A and B are shown apart, each in its own frame.
Chain A
Amino acid sequence: MESLSGRKKVLEQKPMNFWERMYLPAILKGMGITFMHMFKKKETIHYPEQEREFSENWRGMHSLKRDEEGRERCTACGLCALSCPAEAITMISAEREKGEEHLYREEKYAAVYEINMLRCIFCGLCEEACPKEAIYLDGPIVPADYLRKDFIYGKDKLVEMPIKELEALKGATV
């Protein structure tokens, strides 16, 4: 039959000739190839010292963002939880009290915000659903742990560090 893709290859099944039956020429050829590989550049990335660069659209651990004044952007609308196909996100909302305006940008905020990292499939739909640009999957790889309960990340792990603290930390290390 005519091949539609034009990529069809018919292999001939000839009996091996004398040289092929000796195996040795083929083996020597193969050994030549492997020997040349000894002098090629090694592909290894020496992990703890060297890290592989993430691609631009890499999705890692979530972070809950703050605005320019260091206030939490999340308003606990629950759209992320609703969009999440893995049911990984839960939250409890609370109303902003007087005197908390410097902490929360909107009048409602997430008192508890939890992501189960064992359920999360890092699809990024929460990121797309968020109307307040409060959640991004721009973190590192989620680290390994021993207990299931330790994979449920609360606000302590998710919320971005306040800008002041971050600058203080930078100032201390530099």
Chain B
Amino acid sequence: MELAFIIEKLILVTILFVLTLSIAAYSTWAERKVAAWLQDRVGPNRAGIFGLLQPLADGGKMFFKEEIIPSGSNKWLFIAGPSLALLVSFLGTAVIPFGQNIELFGRVVPLQVTDINVGILYIFGVVSLGVYGIMIGGWASNNKYSLMGAIRGASQNISYEIAMGLSIIALLLVTNTLSFKEIAEQQHGWHWNIIYQPLGFIIFLVCAFAETNRVPFDLPECETELIGGYNTEYSGFKMGAYMFAEYINMFVSSAVMATLYFGGYNYPGMDAVNSALGATWGPVIGIVVMFMKIIAFIFFFMWVRWTVPRFRYDQLMDLGWKVLIPLAIANIVITAIVITVVDKL
């Protein structure tokens, strides 16, 4: 392994880390802005122009707040909960290709931290670890509301992971690969997977809402019933870590959805653009397109949050087990039959 390779990856990881953090920070700003717009308000506009310094003010506030660790709590696990949630949410970005190979200083740099051939499995592993942050935090708080939130979070995530996995299997029948890089390359131009897997995408989208604990599936932290759920006892920066983890999860799942179903960095007419701009600036356009898709998805997440009320818990379980899983299985069967028939013809 040459030195340049290590430096290249180190820079890429650093950029990605900072980028993820800043996107998560500005998601908090965007959430408040979108909420305000949808409710005929203007949203934060005091800190800096358009309130753009609001995340800094919020972050500063989080740092200076008193950190309370309840005396009845398990101290180690109480700290481990938010740390785990934050750590795990960062891991997801490692396998997502943010652009084509880009030519920089005479080197061809892949815009993906690592292209492991089981990328989708990796994402699933990491996402299912995310529930431990909630479970540990909720349990360690030694608070009934937190425990309820943790239990809800655990059962909800486990239920929806099944439907999510099944919807991905149908996608894998189409793509024949688990590697994110190859899936992105297959969707060159406008051959996006959404065209072949519309039902799979809808199932995946619903499950993504459940996995990230966003409205209408925010039962683990519902403020009105559980006064905050698993993070009831958290304050200061640990609370901030949970909130950040949620927004990073949102970013990662937006990126995954954009890559799996909406062509990632691909866009119609990219060949012409690439040949016109060369091997350095062509991929840059691809990165911009990728991030536009991600931001559109993040906006969609927020848009849904400020439209739809929270599901009741039995409705949530009904939807997961009785609707989404049968639908996903039907989707697999239909996809398999169509693929077989098309191959035979």
Contact = CB atoms under 8 A, between A and B. Distances in A.
Interface of A: 22-24, 27, 30-31, 33-35, 37-38, 40-44, 46
25 contacts: A22-B323, A23-B319, A24-B202, A27-B304, A27-B307, A27-B308, A30-B307, A30-B308, A31-B303, A31-B304, A31-B308, A33-B307, A34-B303, A34-B306, A34-B307, A37-B38, A37-B39, A37-B40, A38-B38, A40-B40, A41-B40, A42-B42, A43-B40, A43-B41, A44-B42
A37 B307 CA distance: 11
Nearest to B34: A38
Contacts, number: 35
Contacts of A41: 40
B37 interface: yes
B308 A38 contact: no
A27 to B, nearest CB: 6
Given A23-B319, A40-B40, A44-B42, 7 more contacts: A22-B323, A27-B304, A27-B307, A27-B308, A35-B38, A37-B40, A38-B37
Contacts of B323: 22
A24 B308 CA distance: 11
Interface of B: 37-42, 202, 303-304, 306-308, 319, 323
A79 B308 CA distance: 57
The 3 closest A-B pairs by CB, nearest first: A34-B307, A34-B38, A38-B37
B45 to A, nearest CB: 8
A27 B215 CA distance: 12
Contacts of A23: 319
A11 B176 CA distance: 52
Given A27-B308, A30-B308, A42 B41 contact: yes
B40 to A, nearest CB: 5
A37 B308 contact: no
A30 B323 CA distance: 21
B34 to A, nearest CB: 8
Contact of B307 (A24, A31, A40): A31
B303 A42 contact: no
Contacts of A42: 40-42
